[in-house]
């Protein structure tokens, strides 16, 4: 993930997001969740940059800025959860803090939109990518952790689909949100799972999987 070298944007780069996340979140699993969601959302950011034609060296800065927006949004989507887990407070308290600090509006809107109960609609590709990857990244992590190797490398799409039907497995993950997320993003569910798996496999070391 690139961090912008220019003065103005550097305040809201990946490094700042990570700092804010780890300041508010001590729990290892919530930090890992942020990284897993970031991995998937940033991969969608890369794909979106390509779709928008932000390719080649002359568009490198725009591409990096777009991907960094996706990255930071995902890293921060639950940053207030450890301190303010209630439905009344999460993610509203966090978003107020982000606004106070000057984080961009697209990021804040996407974070509000990932909570179904916020009433904030998901309009942009970023809004939809965050919602689509949030529950799925958690589910894929759970799928890896039940493997003897605990490795994401050993997780396959068919196995994930099978586990989605097993109601006793990873009960905390809302299957309907996963299905709805892919539909809103306009991707086939299997393709979405494969895409996120691929992204997570590339960053397995960092994710501890």
Which residues of this protein are in contact with Fe ion, per CB under 5 A? 78, 134
Q: Are 137 and 145 a contacting pair, CB within 8 Å?
A: no
CB nearer to Fe ion: pick between 62 and 206: 206
Locate tokens 């979405």: which residue? 192
C-alpha 123/C-alpha 51 separation (Å) is: 17
- The three state secondary structure string of 77-128 is CCCCCCCCCCCCCCCHHHHHHHHHHCCCHHHHHHHHHCCHHHCCCCCCHHHH
CB nearer to Fe ion: pick between 58 and 88: 88
CB nearer to Fe ion: pick between 38 and 78: 78
Compute the least distance from the CB of residue 81 to Fe ion, in Å: 8
CB nearer to Fe ion: pick between 38 and 134: 134
Task: Indicate the SS3 state at residue 157.
Answer: helix
Encoded tokens for 20: 């804010």
Compute the least distance from the CB of residue 33 to Fe ion, in Å: 6
C-alpha 78/C-alpha 24 separation (Å) is: 10
Compute the least distance from the CB of residue 121 to Fe ion, in Å: 18
Compute the least distance from the CB of residue 77 to Fe ion, in Å: 5
Compute the least distance from the CB of residue 7 to Fe ion, in Å: 31
CB nearer to Fe ion: pick between 40 and 54: 40
């Amino acid at each position: 993930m690139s961090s912008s070298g220019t003065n103005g944007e550097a305040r809201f780069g990946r490094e700042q997001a990570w700092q804010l996340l780890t300041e508010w979140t001590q729990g290892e699993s919530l930090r890992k969740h942020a990284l897993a969601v970031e991995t998937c959302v940033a991969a969608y950011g890369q794909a979106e940059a390509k779709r928008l034609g932000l390719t080649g060296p002359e568009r490198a800065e725009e591409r990096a800025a777009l991907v960094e927006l996706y990255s930071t949004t995902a890293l921060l989507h639950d940053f207030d959860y450890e301190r303010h887990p209630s439905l009344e407070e999460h993610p509203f308290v966090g978003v107020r803090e982000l606004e106070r600090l000057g984080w961009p509006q697209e990021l804040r809107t996407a974070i509000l939109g990932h909570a179904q109960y916020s009433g904030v609609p998901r309009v942009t590709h970023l809004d939809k990518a965050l919602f689509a990857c949030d529950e799925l990244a958690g589910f894929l992590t759970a799928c890896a952790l039940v493997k003897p190797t605990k490795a994401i490398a050993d997780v396959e799409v068919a196995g994930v689909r099978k586990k989605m039907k097993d109601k006793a497995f990873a009960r905390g993950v809302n299957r309907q949100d996963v299905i709805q997320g892919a539909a809103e993003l306009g991707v086939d569910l299997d393709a979405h799972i494969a895409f996120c798996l691929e992204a997570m496999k590339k960053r397995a070391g960092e994710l501890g999987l």
